[in-house]
Amino acid sequence: MGSGLGLADTATCLECHDTVDPKQYEASVHGQAGLACVDCHTSLQGVTEFPHAEKLRPADCATCHEDVTTDYARSIHAQTSALGKGAAPTCASCHGVHNMLSASDPKSPTHKSNESQLCGKCHGMNGLKDREVRLPYVFESYSRSAHAKRIGQGNMQAASCADCHGTHDLRGSADTESTIHRWRIPETCGKCHRQVTDEYLAGIHGKAFKLGISDSPTCTNCHGEHEILGRDAADSATFNRQISFQLCLDCHTSPKVLRKYGARMGTAAEFVDSYHGLSLKLNSPRAATCVSCHESHEIRPKRDPTSTVAAGNVTATCARCHPGATPEFARSYTHATANLQENRLAGFFQTFYVLMILAVIGSMVAHNVLILYYFFRRKHHHESRAPRLTRFHAQEIWMHILLTITFIGLAVTGFALKFSDSFFFEWLRALGMTEPVRSVLHRVFAVGLLATGIWHLAYLAFSVKGRAQLKALWLRWEDLRLVVVNLRYHLGLAKERPLFRRYDYSEKAEYWALVWGTAVMAVTGFVLWFPVAATRIFPFWIIRVSEVIHYYEAILATLAILVWHFFFVIMHPEEYPMNLSWLHGKITVELAEEKYPLWAREELDRTRAAQAAPEPAAAEDLPAK
């Protein structure tokens, strides 16, 4: 490879091209080989007049590396470059220009220890993200893998980018000649994992794969492509818990896959519901997973006599975890025996106990409802005969009844959307509450709640009784003091009860929380009801923000009713079995004087004053004019 200028003329080049570091070039693989500038910049060979032409042909690596250049020409990098994608790498992109080192040199960017960082310049979070580079986080994913960790520990036998993708002739996964094409994955992985690959190919998955069945999983379906983690990593797809609840179930719970290959439905569910599955949910390290019985790679069907779950081998398989296991023990814990349709005796007892539970618990409920009804009647009888004060008027009673119906209806139809797979809502769906029905009911209840709210506002504004109620419900600084007094009394730190007016602080807080909650749910509900109209007025994020607020406000309101309201009107010892004033609007004088002494005193004084006032004279008693 002699040059037209000779080696001595390299110094002449450097007189103008001072950006090239002579020492760096001398240390490079080309410098050590004694190559001169013109050996790469071949367009200068034979040139005797300087300065030379401004525009020269690019350095042609093919002059020496013809075989490598031929490989590169078939690669996806070259194809991308031919399409005019400037981001596609060339020889210099990976090897450098005047400082290129041998791939065996630890300082070289193409050394195995540096290879992933080199590829990561483009195939990383801050690299290319166009349609050709479809996976922008490849480098980050690989960096977390077991392969990368082993290389970091100095094990140069672990796989890096080139081991799987090739070096110069790397091709896209859609290319049938690519080492990462689906049909060549086992071959590629088998270069390092020969025994595991042989086991896989001998198993049912490998046999199906060789027959061209695309549904059959390959190495990357289970282990991943770049972020291949060890089995001990908690977020690995092959970690104990993920194997049985995610990895295997992705295919073995798919109705499409099961129907296509004539597999029995429910097999995976039977495992999940077994002791093995239940203990695995609780993260038991000893719990059996799918691979504990079926093996990891050499998975064979039960009909195969060499299978670990074949009749002749299953007892030994069970004995791995259960020393001394017998054939009868092995038969007791199969998918078939777990299936209540196939295990008729177990199915009989399931049906028997379901009916028994319904009969026994149903009769208990009926019995206790009768007893509860007795105490309702007794309390009502006692209160109806005792002196009473009017606490709620007729309109207020009806408002509360409508509020109760619409609130419960909204809660049920709202949570039925979010928790449609829960037991409570599954039977509602079975009764016909599909999404079209649910959505209509939810809106009907919403309109009912808003109508009740409008009625209530009109009542407060235009009714004397309504304005009196609003005045009584208004929050005062005095309420904060009464909170402290009430808590001190119930803690035994004060002897006298707080002196409440018509409503105590718990009732006021609940009322204003209802006002706030209704307003919030109405606004967010209308946004979700009319999303197109909402986005004409508000930014795009209004939809998702409204969903979040609507959902959590619903939880808050429902829990407040269950925890706060039901305690004070049902569970409170002074009210049990229930405060009945919501039905008739009355409260006994005795209870009013105990709970609302200031209001009771005002009402009794007003009643006595009205009774003491002289009645207007009748017309016939008036003196004649």
Q: Measured between alpha carbons, how far is 494 from 589 in angstroms, rounded to an integer?
A: 24
Tokens of 430: 């079975």
Beta bridge partners of 389: 587
Q: What is the pLDDT of residue 2?
A: 40
The tally of domains found in the chain comes to: 2
Residue 484 lies in a domain: yes
Residue 357 lies in a domain: no
* Number of separate helices (H) and strands (E) present in the chain: 37, 2
Are 109 and 96 a contacting pair, CB within 8 Å? yes
Contacts of 467 (CB under 8 A, 6+ apart): 460, 461
Helix (H) or strand (E) holding 388: strand 388-390
* 3-state DSSP assignment of residue 279: helix
Residue 579: give the domain boundaries. Answer: 383-609
Q: Measured between alpha carbons, how far is 496 from 177 in angstroms, rounded to an integer?
A: 90
Residues of the chain with pLDDT under 70: 1-9, 85-86, 126-134, 340, 615-625
Q: What is the pLDDT of residue 160?
A: 94
Q: What is the pLDDT of residue 502?
A: 94
Residue 310 lies in a domain: no
Q: What is the pLDDT of residue 126?
A: 66
Residue 517 lies in a domain: yes
Residue 390's CATH number: 1.20.950.20
Give the rounded percent of residues in the chain with a pLDDT score beyond 70: 95
Note if the pTM is more than 0.85.
Answer: no
Largest CA distance in the chain: 149
* 3-state DSSP assignment of residue 232: coil
Amino acid at site 193: H
Q: Measured between alpha carbons, how far is 190 from 63 in angstroms, rounded to an integer?
A: 35
Residue 71 lies in a domain: no
Helix (H) or strand (E) holding 205: helix 204-210
Q: What is the pLDDT of residue 4?
A: 42
pLDDT in tens, 514-564: 999 999 999 999 999 999 999 999 999 999 999 999 999 999 999 999 999
Q: Measured between alpha carbons, how far is 297 from 222 in angstroms, rounded to an integer?
A: 10
Residue 601 lies in a domain: yes
Residue 497 lies in a domain: yes
Helix (H) or strand (E) holding 293: helix 290-294
Q: Measured between alpha carbons, how far is 340 from 270 in angstroms, rounded to an integer?
A: 9
Residue entry with tokens 């235009």? 462
Q: What is the pLDDT of residue 228?
A: 93
Residue 69 lies in a domain: no
Q: Measured between alpha carbons, how far is 567 from 134 in angstroms, rounded to an integer?
A: 58
